[in-house]
Amino acid sequence: MSEKLEFRKIREFGEIINDMFQFLKQNFKPLMKTYIYLCGFFVLAGMIAAIMYQLGIQKVAFGYGNGQSTVYGIQRLYDVFTLNYFLVIVLSMLNYTAISVSILCFIALYVQKGNQAPTVEEVWAYFKYYFLRVFASSFAIVIFLVICFLFCFFPFVYVFPAMSIFYSVMVLENGSFEYSFSRSFKLLKDQWWATAGAIFVIWIISYACMSMASLPAIILTLVSGFAKGAGGFNSLAIIVSTIIQYVCQVFMILPIIGVTLCYFNLVERMDNTGLFERINQLGKSGADVNSTPEDY
C-alpha cells in the first residue's frame, strides 16, 4: 500500500501535478462520497434549472424562426434574460462554492487527522461553518476579477493566482476576508511565476478532462442541431447534454486539490510549519520524521 500523501511540504512543479492525482487516487471513495452528499443537491438543482432555461430558449428561438414573436430588441432581451437565467447563475455559484468548500474542508481534516480521510459527518461540521462565508466572499472576488479584466486584461492575469489560493487561506487558516486577501498576495510575493505556471497547467488538465468527458454531449448537440436544421435542437438532446455537462463538474475537484497543494507549497516556503512540526516529533515514539523527504 502506498504511503499517504503529505500536504505540508515543499514541492516542485512536477510534484504538484503528480500529487494532485495521487491524492485523488488514494482518497477517491471518501472524496466522491463527500462530493455526492454535500454537493449533490446543488448539482441537481442547477441541472434542472439549466434544462428548463435551455428548453425555454429553444421555444423562443423556434418562435423567432417562424415569425411567431415580436422582433423588438427589448422583447428579445426579456426572453433571454429571464428569472430562470439568473437562477442558473446563482445556482452555479452555489454549486462551485459547495464543491470548493467541501473539498477544502476534507483536506483540512485530512491534514489534522494525520493524513487520514475524514468522514462525511466530520466534513459537514466544517462545511456548514464556512459555506456562507465563502459564498459571500465570492461576490467580492468576482467583482474584483471583472474590474481587473476590464483594465486591459493584464491586471487580471496578475491577481488570478492570488485569488485562486484565497479560498484555501480562508478555510485552512480560518481567515477573515481581509486576512485571506492580503495573505494570498504575501504568499505569492517571491513565487508568482512558478505558482501561476502550476495553476495554469492544473486548469488546462482539468478542462481537458472535463472536455473529454463531455464529448458525448457535444457530439449529441451537434448531431441534433444538424438533424433539426432551422427547427432548432431536439429537446431530448438538450436534456441529455445538460445532464452530462453537470455530471462532469465532478472534475472540478482536480483544480481545487491542485491549487491547495500550491498553497501548502507557498506556506512551507514562507513559514516552514510542516518542517517545525516534524522537528517537534523527534524522539516521540512511533514518529517517522523521515517519511517526507524534502530540501529546505
* Average pLDDT of the segment spanning 254-282: 81
pLDDT value at 66 more than 60: no
Residue with cell 461540521: 125
The answer to whether position 285 is within a domain reads no
Is 295 inside a domain boundary?
Answer: no
Q: Give mean pLDDT, residues 270-276.
A: 67
Q: Is residue 128 part of a domain?
A: yes
Is 75 inside any structural domain? Answer: yes
71 or 127: whose pLDDT is higher? 127
Domain count, the chain: 1
If one compares 190 and 59, the residue with the highest pLDDT of the two is 190
> Around 190, how many Cα atoms within 13 Å sit in the side-chain half-sphere?
6
**Residue 114 located in a structural domain:** yes
Instruction: Tell me what pLDDT residue 296 has.
Output: 46
pLDDT at 84 (0 to 100): 85
> Which has more pLDDT, 294 or 127?
127
- What is the residue whose three cell numbers read 480521510? 117
Q: Is residue 209 part of a domain?
A: yes
Listed in sequence order, the residues at least 6 apart from 233 whose beta carbon sits closer than 8 Å to its beta carbon are 58, 221, 224, 225
pLDDT surpasses 90 at 234: no
pLDDT on residue 82: 78
Instruction: Label each residue of 57-69 as H, E or C.
Output: HHHHHHHHHCCCC
Q: Is 4 inside a domain boundary?
A: no
Confidence of residue 290 (pLDDT cuts 50, 70, 90): very low
pLDDT exceeds cutoff 90 at 188: yes
Is 100 part of a structural domain of the chain? Answer: yes
Q: Which residue has the higher pLDDT, 65 or 211?
A: 211
User: What is the domain extent for residue 182?
Assistant: 13-277
